[in-house]
């Protein structure tokens, strides 16, 4: 950074002017920055330096910070980037006699779980309106490859590289062995119904 450049504290007024984000933390901080500061909109390139425990989505170690920053400001070399896909989520809830529809963009995962009910969730999972399975479990995780290291991994799901285009479905403590973690094509419209 030269003496004519300056750093600004990020707030919503600076969002259109952001060229790059530097994240010093773990995977959770990176996800928080993307969700809370940029929401549904586009996220500028993020230089993520791992200070957490897993670091699956943070490609750089903190010890590399000086070399990476020196390299990134150079214009004579090409820089590679990993594009992270998001899920488009629609939730239909019945309230009184009508249905409310809510829409979200999801970078990590969506958890459908039984809540305070002591019984198992009994859900039907569909891909493009074709029944995949009946889920009898504490719940199900539907996630992106970016989210594969979060709750899905804790529920015995696989880690999936961010370059793989897919949708993960992982049961949470399933009652039977008939439904195991699965990776579906990202073109699949996943529907889960009670």
Residue 188: φ, ψ to 5°: -80, 135
Is 109 an annotated catalytic residue? no
Report the DSSP beta bridge partners of residue 25: 50
Q: Residue holding tokens 């008939």?
A: 178
Query: Do β-strands 60-61 and 46-50 pair in parallel, antiparallel, or remain unpaired?
Result: parallel
Residue 150: φ, ψ to 5°: -100, -130
Residue in 90, 99, 167 with CA at minimum distance from that of residue 127: 167
The secondary structure of the chain in percent helix, strand, coil, rounded to multiples of 5, reads 20, 35, 45
DSSP code of residue 33 = I
CB 171 within 8 A of CB 155: yes
Mention every residue, 6+ apart, whose C-beta is less than 8 A from residue 28: 52
For 192, the token pair is 């889960």
Mention every residue, 6+ apart, whose C-beta is less than 8 A from residue 188: 127, 128, 167
Q: Catalytic residue among 5, 17, 27, 163, which?
A: 27
Catalytic residues: 27
């Amino acid at each position: 950074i030269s003496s004519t450049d300056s750093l600004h504290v990020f707030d919503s007024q600076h969002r259109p002017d952001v060229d790059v984000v530097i994240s010093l933390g773990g995977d959770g901080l990176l996800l928080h920055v993307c969700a809370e500061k940029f929401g549904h909109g586009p996220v500028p390139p993020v230089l993520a330096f791992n200070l957490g425990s897993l670091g699956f989505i943070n490609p750089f170690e903190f010890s590399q910070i000086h070399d990476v920053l020196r390299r990134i400001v150079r214009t004579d070399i090409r820089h590679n980037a990993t594009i992270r896909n998001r899920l488009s989520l629609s939730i239909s809830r019945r309230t009184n006699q009508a249905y409310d529809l809510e829409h979200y963009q999801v970078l990590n995962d969506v958890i459908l779980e039984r809540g305070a009910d002591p019984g198992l969730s009994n859900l039907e999972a569909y891909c493009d309106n074709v029944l995949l399975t009946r889920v009898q479990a504490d719940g199900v995780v539907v996630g992106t490859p970016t989210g594969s290291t979060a709750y899905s991994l804790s529920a015995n799901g696989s880690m999936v590289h961010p370059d793989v285009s897919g949708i993960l479905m992982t049961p949470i403590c399933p009652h039977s062995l008939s439904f195991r973690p699965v990776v579906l094509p990202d073109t699949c419209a996943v529907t889960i119904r009670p």
